[in-house]
Structure 1
């Protein structure tokens, strides 16, 4: 039995809690052994060389993107539509919100 149906995000991103949300999300994804998709250690395989490997990578990356979207309030979701990978989504959110939270802490 897969534990995925029991996975829950206790912290939902709301635009003001980036640091706590990012910390929680990072631990969650690392626990699934998929952080390489975010930090670019696990890049997509070339579709022309390894179609099966590329397809498997896409499925895992889409799962991370779904977790990302599922862990935030709905008003942020459409802003992520242009991004095609989990790393692109993560980097976009980090760029927009990590500095904001740093300033608020002081």
Structure 2
């Protein structure tokens, strides 16, 4: 084997046991290509935060991060260990991983705003404070108009209807009867 060119998609472990200059090979045959762990190359979500789609983005990225078992990094329940703690190195690596997932799920213009935060929780809370729209009037109006125009005979009627109902549930304003309700809801959302 004298071809020493590397093709995209082929990743070889270490160096191939071959002397390319003389054309002779060592006794060990070349290693088979290895695949990259899909968790590192999979995009977190197809919904990139663009400033207009916070609700869809936050739900989608929450599912992704929860699926990786790292949802605690978006919660105040996980406390950053002291930098001298034996668990600090692991916490830092996982926090950086979640931060990269969050930043990679944003458009470059939006991601730049959050690039220098220190924790995933800081990014998560700042994105919520910046882009979650407390007054969803225009989005509610648009969805209600689409529902009004939806015809029952259309092939994807039920799927479309269900999707818009779910979006209305997310956007619909909640009126709390007392401050304790709001605190309880916030606690449930953060867990």
Q: Find out whether 1:81 has 2:110 as its counterpart.
A: no
Question: Quick check: 2:48–2:57 contact (8 Å CA) kept in 1?
Answer: yes
User: Among 103, 106, 126, which residue is 1:92 paired with?
Assistant: 126
Q: Distance in 2 between matches of 1:81 and 1:87?
A: 13
Q: Distance in 1 between matches of 2:54 and 2:99?
A: 17
User: Among 72, 90, 96, which residue is 1:56 paired with?
Assistant: 90
Q: Find out whether 1:10 has 2:46 as its counterpart.
A: yes
Q: Distance in 2 between matches of 1:18 and 1:2?
A: 29
Report the TM-score, using the length of structure 2 for normalisation: 0.50
Higher helix share: 1
Report the TM-score, using the length of structure 1 for normalisation: 0.86
| Stretches of 4+ aligned residues off by more than 6 angstroms | none
For structure 1, the 5+ residue unaligned runs are none
| Aligned residue in 1 for 2:168 | none
CA RMSD of the aligned region, Å? 1.8
Pair 103,39 (structure 1): closer, same or farther in 2 beyond 3 Å: farther
| Aligned residue in 1 for 2:80 | 44
For structure 2, the 5+ residue unaligned runs are 1-35, 141-191
| Aligned residue in 2 for 1:65 | 99
Size of the aligned set, in residue pairs, is 104
From the CA coordinates, give the structure whose radius of gyration is larger. 2
Pair 101,12 (structure 1): closer, same or farther in 2 beyond 3 Å: farther
Question: Quick check: 2:103–2:115 contact (8 Å CA) kept in 1?
Answer: no
Question: Quick check: 2:65–2:71 contact (8 Å CA) kept in 1?
Answer: yes
